[in-house]
């Protein structure tokens, strides 16, 4: 099984799938292709929360604002899983969760050792008005400089063929793949943690989901036994479910990933609380807690 996740929207993921399906008949499962554009941290959060529900798989992850720079392409083995993507930190939070107590193993992808991705009848944009001054040679040069991989679409030209090969290789023997070298990752990413005391927690909004729920990094345990809290200065009821409050009303609850969310029952919490990804959140007890 190969899962695919990116910030590509459409139709770029379809090109990745074609490349993978040229090489393997693995089952493909889309995780998401609408991650916030070029937001490595939001992608890392969602992948850390979603991928642990999967059986052993190869996870192809392309959120890659540094495409075409000298950032490496890597494979991380994490327990029964392998992750393939850019060395910008996005793979680490999900990898640590997937590995449980196993050590992570990182491999660098040598792009030049990958079998070149060739479309059927590659595009050959030609010049309508070839000139006699050597321009056409220069044109050839321009094509050549793209080399085996485009500079802007490594999802298709590097990560997809690598993921197909990783999928078909034994997890215990990844360095048998000619394009992989045991290595270390260079970039890391730790999702920010909240500071939590007995009656005060200070954190931030990690992501806003499609319902408008503002998902913070404050552990859900902060809400234990409280009926209300004060969120950024405003009193808010604590509920175990959205329906604990009337439609349109605000609440704080423990989301499905275990963190405090600021939500509105059948409405958008981000708008009601005036919160966006990255905004600071301070939660305080308001005295309602049983002594």
In angstroms, what is the minimal distance from the CB of 102 to a second copy?
A: 10
Specify the residue, 9 or 274, whose C-beta has the smaller distance to a second copy. Answer: 9
Q: Is 34 in the site for a second copy (CB under 8 A)?
A: yes
| Pair 247, 266: CB distance under 8 Å | yes
Smallest separation (angstroms) from a second copy to the CB of 143: 6
Q: Which residues contact 145 (CB under 8 A, 6 or more apart)?
A: none
Q: 85 with 159: CB under 8 angstroms?
A: yes
Peptide bond into 11 cis (omega under 30): yes
Among 175, 209, 279, 286, binds a second copy (CB under 8 A): 209
Q: Is 171 a residue that touches a second copy (CB under 8 A)?
A: no
* Segment 95 to 114, residues that bind a second copy, using CB under 8 A: 97-100
Task: Give the nearest distance from C-beta 232 to a second copy in angstroms.
Answer: 19
Can residue 206 be called a binding residue for a second copy (CB under 8 A)?
A: no
| Alpha-carbon gap, residue 138 to 194, rounded angstroms | 55
Q: Which of 5, 90, 180, 231 binds a second copy (CB under 8 A)?
A: 5
Per-residue b or e along 17-33, where b marks 16 or more CB atoms closer than 10 Å to that residue's CB: bebbeebbebebeebeb
Least separation, in Å, of the C-beta of 214 and a second copy? Answer: 13
Distance of closest approach, residue 285 Cβ to a second copy, in angstroms: 11
Q: Which is nearer to a second copy, 151 or 181 (CB)?
A: 151
Does residue 249 interact with a second copy by CB under 8 A?
Answer: no
Cβ closest to a second copy, residue 90 vs residue 194? 194
d(Cα 70, Cα 50) in Å, to the nearest integer?
A: 29
Stretch near a second copy under the rule CB under 8 A, chosen from 162-170, 196-204, 227-235, 275-283: 196-204
237 binds a second copy (CB under 8 A): no
285 three-class SS: strand
58 contributes a contact to a second copy by CB under 8 A:
no
Helix (H) or strand (E) holding 166: helix 160-168
50 touching a second copy, by CB under 8 A: yes
Q: Which is nearer to a second copy, 22 or 175 (CB)?
A: 22
* 260 class by beta-carbon count within 10 Å (0-12 exposed, 13-18 middle, 19+ buried): buried
The tokens of 240 are what? 């175990």
Q: Does 227 bind a second copy (CB under 8 A)?
A: no
Q: How far is the CB of 147 from a second copy (least distance, A)?
A: 10
Q: Contacting a second copy (CB under 8 A), which of 36, 148, 237, 255? A: 255
Structure tokens at 224: 């234990």
Q: Which residues contact 82 (CB under 8 A, 6 or more apart)?
A: 57, 58, 59, 75, 76, 166, 167, 171, 174
Nearest residue (CB) to a second copy, 181 versus 193: 193
Q: Nearest 5 degrees, angle CA 273-CA 248-CA 261?
A: 45
Say which residue the tokens 């479910």 belong to.
241
């Amino acid at each position: 099984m190969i899962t695919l996740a990116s910030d590509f929207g459409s139709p770029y993921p379809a090109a990745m799938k074609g490349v993978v399906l040229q090489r393997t008949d693995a089952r493909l499962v889309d995780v998401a292709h609408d991650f916030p554009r070029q937001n490595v941290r939001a992608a890392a959060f969602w992948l850390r929360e979603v991928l642990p529900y999967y059986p052993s798989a190869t996870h192809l992850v392309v959120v890659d604002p540094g495409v075409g720079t000298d950032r490496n392409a890597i494979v991380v083995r994490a327990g029964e899983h392998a992750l393939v993507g850019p060395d910008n930190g996005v793979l680490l939070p999900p990898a640590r969760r997937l590995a449980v107590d196993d050590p992570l193993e990182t491999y660098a992808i040598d792009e030049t050792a990958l079998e070149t991705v060739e479309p059927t009848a590659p595009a050959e944009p030609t010049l309508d008005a070839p000139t006699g001054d050597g321009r056409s040679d220069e044109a050839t040069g321009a094509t050549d400089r793209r080399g085996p991989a485009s500079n802007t679409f490594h999802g298709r030209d590097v990560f997809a063929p690598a993921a197909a090969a990783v999928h078909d290789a034994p997890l215990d023997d990844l360095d048998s793949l000619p394009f992989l070298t045991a290595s270390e990752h260079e970039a890391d990413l730790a999702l920010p943690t909240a500071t939590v005391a007995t009656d005060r927690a200070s954190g931030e909004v990690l992501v806003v989901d499609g319902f408008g729920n503002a998902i913070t990094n404050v552990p859900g345990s902060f809400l234990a036994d409280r009926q209300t809290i004060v969120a950024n200065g405003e009193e808010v009821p604590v509920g175990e479910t959205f329906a604990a409050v009337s439609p349109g009303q605000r609440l704080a609850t423990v989301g499905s990933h275990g963190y405090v969310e600021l939500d509105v029952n059948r409405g958008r919490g981000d708008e009601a609380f005036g919160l966006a990804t990255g905004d600071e959140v301070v939660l305080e007890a308001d005295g309602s807690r049983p002594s």
